[in-house]
Amino acid sequence: MDYGHVDVENLKATELTLGVPGAEETDKMPTPRAGSKRAHAGDHHEEEPKAALPAAKAQVVGWPPVRSYRKSCFQQQSSSKSKATAPGEVQKQEVPAVSVVAATPPAAVGSGGSLFVKVSMDGAPYLRKIDLKMYKGYRELREALEAMFLGFSNDAASVNPSDFAVTYEDKDGDLMLVGDVPFEMFMSTCKRMRIMKGSEARGLGSSKE
C-alpha cells in the first residue's frame, strides 16, 4: 500500500506485488499527489519493490515506537491461540499480524537489539524475516520456522520433517547445516537461512535434534 507522500505513480506499475493487478488500490486512503511536499530528498525506501508482506520491506529499528515488552506480549498471545491454525496464510489481514507476532513460541523478551535474517524456503513464493534474538535455542527456532512455512505445503499434516533441511549461510559464505554449533555461536555467524526441500535435503533433516 502506498501512502502517497512520494510521487510514485510511474513506479507503481513496475512494483512487484502478489495481488491481482489493481488489487492493491484501496479507497481507504485517498492519496493526494498534488501539493504533497517531500520532507527531503533522502527518502529512498519507497523505491524498493514492494511485496504484499510488510516483513519484506526494510524495517526501521524501533519504529513505530512501541515498547518491546508490548510487542513480545503479542507474540506470546498469538502463539497460544494459533496452535491449530495454519499460520502460513497469505491473506493480507493476517499477514501483518504474523509478521509482528509470527506465530512463534514465547521467548524471554530480548533485552534490546534484534537480529533479523532472511529465511527462504525452496519453492515458496517469497521470503520471510525472523529475529534470531527472539529464540532461546534451536528447538524454538525450528518450531517457529515450521509454523511459518508449513502453510506452503498442500497439506500441513502430511509434511515430513525429514524432507526438510534447515541451512544457513555463515560469515564466510558457506552453506551450513543448522544445529551443529552452540546456538549463540550460530546467532553470531548466521547471515541468512534457507530451508531446503526434496532430494537435496532428504536424510539431512532427520539428523536435527
Question: Which residues make up the interface to another protein (CB under 8 A)?
Answer: 1, 3-5, 28-30, 32-37, 39-40, 42-43, 45, 54, 57, 59-71, 73-74, 76-77, 80-81, 92-93, 96-97, 99-100, 106, 108-114, 136
The position carrying cell 534470531 is 132
The amino acid that residue 9 corresponds to is E
CB of 22 to another protein, least distance (A): 18
For the bound state, the minimum distance from the C-beta of residue 161 to another protein, rounded and expressed in Å, comes to: 22
CB of 113 to another protein, least distance (A): 5
Residue placing its CB nearer to another protein in the complex, 61 or 199: 61
| Backbone torsions φ then ψ of 175, nearest 5 degrees | -90, 120
Nearer to another protein, 34 or 158 (CB): 34
Q: Which is nearer to another protein, 67 or 160 (CB)?
A: 67
When the beta carbons of 10 and 91 are compared against another protein, the nearer one is: 91
Compute the least distance from the CB of residue 196 to another protein, in Å: 29
Q: Which is nearer to another protein, 97 or 177 (CB)?
A: 97
d(CA 19, CA 53): 11
Decide whether 132 or 195 has the Cβ nearer to another protein.
Answer: 132
Query: Where do we find the cell 499480524?
Result: 97
Nearest distance, CB of residue 128 and another protein, angstroms: 14
Q: How far is the CB of 29 from another protein (least distance, A)?
A: 6
Distance of CA 161 to the CA centre of its chain: 20
